[in-house]
Amino acid sequence: MKLTVDGLSVRYGATQAIKAVDAAAHPGEFLAVIGPNGSGKSSLVKAIAGLVAHEGVVRFDGSTVRPERIGYMPQDIGARAALTVLEAVLLGRLGRLGLRVRPEDLAAVEAVLGELNLMPLASRYLGELSGGQRQLVFLAQALASEPALLLLDEPISALDIRHQLEVMEIVLRMTRARGLTTLVILHDLNIAARFADRVLVMRSGRAVCCGQPEAVIDAAMVASVFGVEATLSSDPQGRLIVTPLRALAAERAHAGRVLA
């Protein structure tokens, strides 16, 4: 599903969270959205998901009608402790469930649980799980809907480094295999550089640049957007590595280049 965002703006009362953002994502593509706290990343994803009012136009394969097949994982997850893992993931297929759970619903859920190595936890209650385990469960819930569009807001923030890599590898593999259009909000620039096809950089509610990681993530961007002095290098496979050195004074951070 091709996603196109034209002039998207979001306001909460007197606060302008997003200002005329343009963006696009394509089937089979992993688009990472990065930027400092308060830059409008979550508001962008919520507007695309139809969860907040907005100005501007969001198109799905050219249509403004929002499809049912959107998998959305929010940053703040309210876990209902009385639900088991299996029940929570089944809720991801809520639009498909009738008066009873069909065999195909169970099969789809079990497949996702297996993919994320969650089957041993299927009968456990959410309240018994760690924060990282619950995060994996709600990622499974987003994937269980068999979405054409996948929106993930910081899906690895509570995970250790091994599980961060495993989850990103799974998301990338499913994006490719299922032809998903995938938007992922990330804070780790190295994870974004490693897994994303393209990176959208946001600051102060605006999209300041978008492109392939090696074209977008450089020392000038990190300084001007994040206020951090950094060096860039490559790993043995040629993948970009960002090493932060120190926080810059506010006046130096904002004196960086203007990004188009």
Summarize pLDDT for 126-157 with one digit per residue, the tens.
989 988 898 899 999 999 988 999 999 999 98
What is this structure's pTM?
Answer: 0.90
197 has a pLDDT exceeding 50: yes
- Beta strands 149-153; 70-73: pairing state: parallel
Mean pLDDT (the chain) is 91
Instruction: Give the integer Cα–Cα distance in Å for 33 and 251.
Output: 25
Angle between helices 131-144 and 161-178 (to 10 degrees): 0
Do residues 207 and 21 make contact, with C-beta atoms less than 8 angstroms apart? yes
From the list 136, 180, 184, 182, the residue with the least C-alpha distance to 35 is 184
43 has a pLDDT exceeding 60: yes
Structure tokens at 82: 């009385």
How large is the average pLDDT for residues 224-242? 95
259 has a pLDDT exceeding 50: no
DSSP string, 199-218: EEEEETTEEEEEE-HHHH--
How large is the average pLDDT for residues 65-80? 82
Classify the C-alpha dihedral 89-195-173-4 as positive or negative. Answer: positive
